[in-house]
Amino acid sequence: MSHTPTFREIEAEDIPAIFEVRVAAWQNERGAEELVQLGITPASVLELLATSHRGWLCEFDARVVGFAIGNRENGEMWVIAVRPEHERRGIGRRLLRLVEDWLFAAGWPDIWLTTDADETFRAVGFYRRLGWIDWKLEPGGDRFMKKLRGPEERAT
């Protein structure tokens, strides 16, 4: 068994595992129910991955421990999740970069995401450290952040 994380593109058979990771990372006991209420189901994610979205995952010891998905139709970094016990190992950073590179290669001059408006939310600091900047705050509590295509992405 390898103790090195491996990264690869998400495939249809990975859908149940990425849902497990999403719920575990959300730290919300109603996570699975809320995803369904938002229309995010295994079938809907499979359809998105077959059309407008693309994603990557990280496996450690043959177990999916993180993933990220982007939307090429609107330049959104759609979702990223890493199991809590695998955080702070560079997995999220690498997954985020895979999605960023793909979205910039698709021609977007800047890309965006939403996260919590609360400044103490760990994701806010994570994104900021990786070059994301605040774009706008919505009254409902969402923070919109964007990242501009840098010189390294323009060269590709």
Report d(CA 106, CA 100) in Å as an integer: 10
User: Whole-model pTM above 0.85?
Assistant: yes
Exposure b/e, 1-25, CB count within 10 A at least 16 = b: eeeebebeebeeebbebbbebbbbb
Phi, psi dihedrals of residue 87, rounded to the nearest 5°: -70, 160
Tens of pLDDT, residue by residue over 40-49, are: 788 888 889 9
Structure confidence by residue, pLDDT tens digits, 17-60: 988 888 887 655 556 666 666 767 888 888 899 999 999 999 99
95-143 pLDDT per residue, tens: 999 999 999 999 999 999 999 888 888 888 899 999 999 999 887 778 9
3 state SS of 144: strand
The span from the CA of 87 to the CA of 21, in Å, is 12
